[in-house]
Amino acid sequence: MIPVDGDFIFAVAPRFSGDKADAQRRIVGAISGQFSEILESYNISTFLRIAHFMGQVTHECAGFRTTEEFASGAAYEGRQDLGNIHPGDGKRYKGRGLMQLTGRDNYRRIGGKLGLDLEGNPEQAGEPLTSLKIACEFWKSRSINDPSDRDDLEAVTRLVNGGLNGLEDRRQYLRKAKEALRARQGLIVASQQGGARPVLRRGSFGASVAELQRLLAGAGFPTAIDWDFGPATELAVLMFQRATGLEDDGIVGKDTWEALGG
């Protein structure tokens, strides 16, 4: 398994400010801790599969800042091909998910696969972790791993989009995902037990950072557990490294993880 988390997502996704940044951070923070595990469970686990998944999803969910389409869903009212047979179904079953799930029939079908009553509780499809699983179910249902293995961007895009809308945007995100994955391959530190710890530094974000912050607090160097490796976390790391005789570079690699007991 290639460990990918919030730090990886932020390396691919565009950065925003204000309310858009807050929305993005909420979504990424919610899925970060289980991102690798969920992708692995759908066999989206190789370099090319993860890269193509990220290239498509980043475009589809507007850079991880929404799990729900911006339109009201009124355009789907009366769409019997989507199973919208009752008044209000268009808005009730509007597009939700990192790859948007639309229509009563699809909510019922995907909900059944996930063991969730999405038909009865459609807003649940917009919850970050559920929205990630919806994207993975869509990916699996269309066998998109196959063209990903061939590195065929156009074929992947046609299966996701039905055409080639946003192809250049998807191409840019695919390139960034490949670059970020190559960088991460050089940053993964394997422990003697066969586990893995990412090398963390200022700017890192995700569940691994939260784990680091908890370990620092337990060692007597408290910092906010906010999943964000900012200046305060960097200072706590530096102080811990100095106190334990490690090289005080502010970078959390194998030696620092081991000293923390992680």
Q: What is the mean pLDDT of residues 85-97?
A: 97
- Domain boundaries, given as residue ranges, for the chain: 6-187, 196-260
- By C-alpha distance, which of 68, 7, 26, 4 is closest to 229? 7
The CATH number of 6-187, from 3.40.50.1370, 3.40.50.11310, 1.10.530.10, 1.10.10.60, is 1.10.530.10
- 184-218 burial, b at 16+ Cβ within 10 Å, e below that, comes to beebebeeeeeeebbbbbeebbbbbbbbbbebbee
Joined tokens for residue 172: 């840019």
How would you class 123 by CB atoms within 10 Å of its CB: exposed for 0-12, middle for 13-18, buried for 19 or more?
Answer: exposed
Q: How confident is residue 33, by pLDDT bands cut at 50, 70 and 90?
A: confident
- Mean residue pLDDT across the chain: 91
pLDDT of residue 201: 85
pLDDT of residue 106: 96
- % residues pLDDT > 70 (the chain): 95
Asked whether the predicted pLDDT for residue 185 surpasses 70, the reply is no
Q: What is the mean pLDDT of residues 97-117?
A: 96
Q: Return the higher-pLDDT residue of 199 and 164.
A: 164
Q: Return the higher-pLDDT residue of 2 and 78.
A: 78
Q: How confident is residue 176, by pLDDT bands cut at 50, 70 and 90?
A: very high
The CATH number of 196-260, from 1.10.10.10, 3.40.630.30, 1.10.3720.10, 1.10.101.10, is 1.10.101.10
Q: What is the mean pLDDT of residues 64-77?
A: 96
On the question of a common fold for 6-187 and 196-260, the answer reads no
Pair 260, 216: CB distance under 8 Å: yes
Measured distance CA(174)–CA(91) in Å, rounded: 32
Q: What is the mean pLDDT of residues 57-73?
A: 96
Phi and psi at 121, nearest 5°, equal -135, 70
Asked whether the predicted pLDDT for residue 193 surpasses 90, the reply is no
Q: How confident is residue 198, by pLDDT bands cut at 50, 70 and 90?
A: confident
pLDDT of residue 191: 38
Asked whether the predicted pLDDT for residue 14 surpasses 50, the reply is yes
pTM (predicted TM-score)? 0.77
Asked whether the predicted pLDDT for residue 96 surpasses 60, the reply is yes
